[in-house]
Amino acid sequence: MPATLQFWFDFASTYSYLSAMRIQQAATMKGVAVEWQPFLLGPIFAEQGWTTSPFKIYPAKGQYMWRDMERLCAARNLPFQRPESFPQNSLKAARLALAVEQGDRRAAFVQAVYSTQFASGHDISDPAVLSDCLAASGSAPDAVQRMSDPKIKADLFEQVARAKALHIFGAPSFIIGNELFWGDDRLDDAVSYASSYFT
């Protein structure tokens, strides 16, 4: 059984875009399997007294983040377009990610959503956009209706509870056993830790 790393992400997270587009390759090179775990940061931020992203609360931090994203995407040959609205409402996309089977298909859907948002600037709260992402990832486009499924809604609620129990406070986050790594700049460390943790 391969080593496993849990990748916790919120679709509204800019730095999670960076991780989502490279984690599979980085993990495969080390013999590590990736579990794609969508969740919502909003309820976690609310417990800290924040009503929105800290990049909106602190303008200087937000200004830095956008320039940092431009630099990092250019260095990695990743397309980047700042979406008109930020942070975007990631609720529907998170529900759909849970509705897609864990594994390659979920990975493809997650990457499609991040690409349409941060490479093309599209609105991921739009069901038509999400339907296109499902099609691009090999899932039936009409599966977009599952975002209203009561079980999927309950599953996402449980995901947020799990994230809190794991002491996750931001995204992207990586969990190996009881060890937490936070931030795209810790992805390689997390993968290396996972490869040695299970040996």
Any idea which residues carry the catalytic annotation?
13
Nearest to 5 by CA among 175, 164, 169, 185: 175
How many Cα neighbours within 13 Å face the side chain of 178? 0
Give the bridge partners for 181, in sequence order. Answer: 174
CB of 11 within 8 A of CB of 156?
Answer: no
In this structure, what token pair is assigned to residue 81?
């377009």
**For residue 175, what are the CA distances in angstroms to 28, 97, 186?**
16, 19, 11
